[in-house]
Chain A
């Protein structure tokens, strides 16, 4: 019994360590979000509100990117929300092992992101899945917010964003987020079609709208791919380097 207990404790510690290291690594990227958001014209408080309340990196970058490019608030909200749909899909899976109720469920929902889902579902036993989810989610929440503040304060002190290439940094961040999703043929086809749609619609519609139209690429490729595959497995949780 005692040796079983020891094995169990060791595995638990391993999962905790895994979660915290993911939290530190992901949190560091918060610097770039903080700097970009203030460069886009958001206040430090608004930037921090996004990391604390929205807490899903891709959507946060998209929102400030579209606002910086002169897009409307409505198109910024639409794009960030479309990117946030995947968190709801993760929640379908995490809710199976979390079994959280009441306030715990609200907190669990808030930290349902790529990383917490990935570490959680990677564990074999239910108790460890819970540990993985909670430790990772809370570690990323802490790291991401702390480093967002650092980035926002540094970014505020830098002045003119273009001088420092911060506008290009946003594009670089999106490349890094897209990269893991190009591993499947469907992912690549979707990205190419979406890029094409955005390119031809930029001169035709107001800023922010081309991105929303680009989302149609997912529908087109998704419907065409349907029948060729039995089940969609691309866009797996944890494939993003951000929350």
Chain B
């Protein structure tokens, strides 16, 4: 799929999702089951994204490289209540330095 098509289709859907809340009657979404699942959805997707971004290699192989160390550093910094940009910067620096040193 063309990248522009992907970008614009995803943008359109993002907007429609936001807009839907202004038109959908609130009670349709208020079931405890529905609201519980949708509240947990971001956690599930983000955890899935972290795993795939960290260990997926080409052709569906699991690869343990500098990215694993970078995520470990990110987790420690988050536990120490570091700011978003610090966490992202430290993760990048960890991977970059490990690669520079030839470890992975």
Residues of A within 8 A of B (CB): 28-29, 31-32, 41-43, 46, 49-50, 53-56, 58-59, 61-63, 65-67, 69-70, 72-74, 76-77, 79-92, 94-96, 100, 105-106, 108-110, 112, 162-179, 181-182, 186-187, 190-195, 197-199, 202-207, 210-219, 221-223, 225-226, 229-235, 240-242
Contact = CB atoms under 8 A, between A and B. Distances in A.
Interface of B: 1-11, 13-15, 17-22, 24, 26, 29, 32-33, 35-56, 58, 60-62, 66-67, 70-71, 73-75, 78, 83-85, 87-97, 99
10 contacts: A73-B2, A80-B13, A86-B41, A164-B92, A165-B92, A167-B67, A171-B50, A194-B51, A198-B48, A210-B48
Contacts of B71: 168, 171-172, 175
A89 B40 contact: no
Contact of B49 (A46, A62, A105, A229): A62
Contact of B10 (A77, A177, A194): A77
Given A55-B14, A198-B52, A168 B94 contact: yes
A86 B42 contact: yes
Nearest to A175: B74
A207 B74 contact: no
A222 B38 CA distance: 8
Given A165-B99, A215-B44, 15 more contacts: A32-B85, A32-B89, A55-B14, A61-B49, A88-B21, A89-B39, A162-B99, A164-B92, A165-B96, A166-B92, A181-B46, A214-B47, A215-B48, A218-B40, A234-B40
B45 A49 contact: no
Shortest beta-carbon contacts, A-B, top 4: A91-B21, A214-B48, A172-B91, A73-B1
Q: Say whether chain B's binding surface is mostly helix, strand, loop, or mixed.
A: helix
A69 B78 contact: no
B28 to A, nearest CB: 9
Contact of A165 (B40, B42, B53, B93): B93
A95 B21 CA distance: 8
Nearest to B12: A53
Given A84-B13, A203-B60, A226-B33, A217 B42 contact: no
